[in-house]
Amino acid sequence: MKQNVGVIDLAIRSVLGIAILAYLAKDGVFHPGSLPGIVIAVVLIATAILRYCPLYQLLGFSTSSRLDRSV
């Protein structure tokens, strides 16, 4: 897998994923209707950790600079 998620994109995905999970668990428990939100949050966090987004791959898009890829 070639990295295609840049540093800024990584930060946005991480913060957004954690914020969604925090909002959905604000009562201390996840409700059955919050499953789509949980899936979205987990996908955002997973793509941030892996620094790879399959949708970017399909579109031929990358937010990663050449310097980011060498890390």
When mean pLDDT is compared across 1-5, 10-14, 63-67, the lowest value belongs to 63-67
- Residue 69 has a pLDDT of 57
Tell me the domain boundaries of the chain. Answer: 7-69
Q: Tokens 């890829």 belong to which residue?
A: 69
CA distances from 42 to 35, 47, 49, 67 (A): 10, 9, 10, 27
- Residue 31 has a pLDDT of 86
Query: What distance in Å separates the CA atoms of residue 27 and residue 45, rounded to the nearest whole number?
Result: 21
| pLDDT higher at 10 or 65 | 10
- Taken as a whole, the chain contains a residue count of 71
Count the neighbouring beta carbons within 10 Å of the beta carbon of residue 8: 12
- Residue 32 has a pLDDT of 86
pLDDT in tens, 20-59: 999 999 888 888 889 999 999 999 999 999 999 999 999 9
